[in-house]
Structure 1
């Protein structure tokens, strides 16, 4: 795109000082001459004449004031006469100072136009993007063609300044590398064509849905397959139960107990209607329980369980008698270390229970409740637990020791 930039320091630029001197410090004439110069530069930038203006344009922009203003501009070196040898005519050439006024040259604008034309040409852009993917061929970074501002934006770069471009002379590049190469920065080396190109989802949609791609049978896929989470299980996705997906699920499943395996083998010969639904929780045994087979702790009242152990210990004379033997026989087998520890704990509990019922406290005071036979605070309702040592209260009254 053609444009003209006026320098920020134009009012203090040395060329402006020359213009004031050429106008003999007539600021009204200076402003008029500067306005004509800016208008001539704007016209040259728009028509890509590279700072060259025809004499007739001056008559259009400053009718009746052409000679006076041109004399001032020539005297300040802002404008000079220029002879075109091909056409054998005199023209005006504007000063080329980037700090005063700067315009884009015809070559720069034409390169940009060719770049835009190559990028919009599907016969060139689509094959290049299919070949290179969304990776810069200069720095190797991923690019996004939807990004039109940052240095990571995707562009189509040329190896020959977009002159008679072909697919072989174009590559995918990020905007940063493209701009640096255009500015003449060294150190760029073209990377080889990718074997497995990376495509962004937007690139896949653009190429696959473009009418030129459809007409030429071009269709690309992601570099890595993606799992479609919207579909059902693998066995249903592959068409039928028990297929390859089911085999993979069976191989990946953890080993089941032997009884379950036998049940599954028995159900394997049944028809699909006869196969029961998969169980999601532990099933209860069929039919009511036999009361004789249930352990006592499941059916006996809580008070009976509370008082049974102390009573059995007193009736048999010592901890660990027949009652303990019966409880040991009824309890499931435990490791030797745990059995010895449990027996010692039972003896201590029985001793504490007898002490609580006889009206004195045991050493254990960390439980809950005051019921006989349970470890608790040690109280039996008759006062404090144990013997409390009485202390005489000493104090001072009236400033005298008592």
Structure 2
């Protein structure tokens, strides 16, 4: 497609140019996105630029947070993307997955020039961003990591890798930026290449039971659009167990990426719906559980945070415990179709996790 300007004499085609030809660099893309992250097609809170990863020589271009609490690694390259950029971005995501709240707070403080400012409160900044973006609840930070790669030309090899990663539950987006020039004015046109765009008319004429957005029909959104038949069956089994055994508020369907069950006004359990797996996040009192013990009792694998994302994709059902603060931990169990949700060990774990929910 081309860019056209409507004039008194009729449509005038705007000449396409190249960022390199206009002597625009990667730094220019950084600045444009910093000024208005909506260039990438979604609300994002930029919290860091050229962020140095501890114990490495790596620097990621931009670090951001989305309204669901996911950390977004943004990589920008001018010209054709070299194949290693996908591995580079995965490496960054694996590093960031280990970070705690205070790590992001320190990065944001440095980025915003608030070093030494006792009034700076990253939690307030994050909550305000979530509210302005329309989120009903303020989510936990860094429950997931996402990748956005922005370039002026996307090669087929990278596109193929990105599609494969998305099929395996890695949230990656490729955006191609075209440039146009008229006189001294430069115009840019960002286009999402992966995931491929779907016609906005696809849902016209469908009945409500066939699915809507997570806000209008969250149940159909998660069970019909987010889940595959296998993970939908897993979810329904889990929900039945929870309803029969526990006094909970849920399921609450109105979040885009997860379904929550609340206890004492806490999101005790967040079920991240995906086509290949269900990710169960339990909020529990700190130091209640040991990941090795859970793995042994449930017959699953310990989710090693030192492994690369590509290695993790091949894991069977697994467990990982992340400390949130001095009072609470997050127990994450990745459930695949090899996992028996109705087994006695898992029912026992649910009972213990329910008792360990903060009161």
Q: TM-score, normalised by structure 1?
A: 0.16
Larger strand fraction of residues = 2
TM-score under structure 2 normalisation? Answer: 0.17
**Larger Rg, first or second structure (1 or 2):** 1
